Amino acid sequence: MMIKIGLAALAFACSLAAGPALAKTIQYSTNLAGKDEVPANTTEGKGTVTAKYDTDTKVLTWKIEYSGLTGPVTAAHFHGPAKAGKNADPIIPLKGELKSPIEGTATLTDEQAKELADGEVYFNLHTAAHKGGEIRGQMGGVM
């Protein structure tokens, strides 16, 4: 009887320990360039996005750095779902100060998390000279 209780307690303890271990953080990144906008442009602007997605809390945290744009950023968004070469509506509009570096977080829906994992989310920065987007990059995951 004591062995059964001991085994049951051990199994329960292992199940508690395994729960948080299933959560993981997935790293995402992309380079931002005018050639990746749709339609493409020849801006001198460039940038990077680095992001982390926590599968347990569903929180996406990002840092965006850029330089060389034709003017101040007028809007910044994560868009989806869309593969490279296609456009989509914004799914996460960035608010507040849009000077480099831009840092922020958002809680994703299950659908947005799947789109991100499937490579169907891109980020771009808009300026007055490039209202549809001056530089863009498709978010790619790295474990």
Residue-wise pLDDT tens digits, 29-64: 999 999 999 999 999 999 999 999 999 999 999 999
**For residue 18, is pLDDT > 60?**
no
Does the N-terminal peptide bond of residue 81 adopt cis geometry, omega within 30 degrees of 0?
yes
pLDDT for position 118: 95
* Average pLDDT of the segment spanning 61-70: 98
Distances (CA, A) of 58 to 16, 17, 97: 20, 20, 24
DSSP single-letter state for residue 36: G
Query: Which tens digits make up the pLDDT trace of 87-116?
Result: 999 999 999 999 999 999 999 999 999 999
The domain limits of the chain are 23-142
Average pLDDT over the chain, rounded to whole?
88
SS3 sequence of 27-38: EEEEEEEHHHCC
pLDDT for position 29: 95
pLDDT for position 85: 94
Pick the CATH number of 23-142 from 2.60.120, 2.60.40, 2.20.220, 2.40.10: 2.60.40
Q: How far apart are CA 54 and CA 135, in angstroms?
A: 26
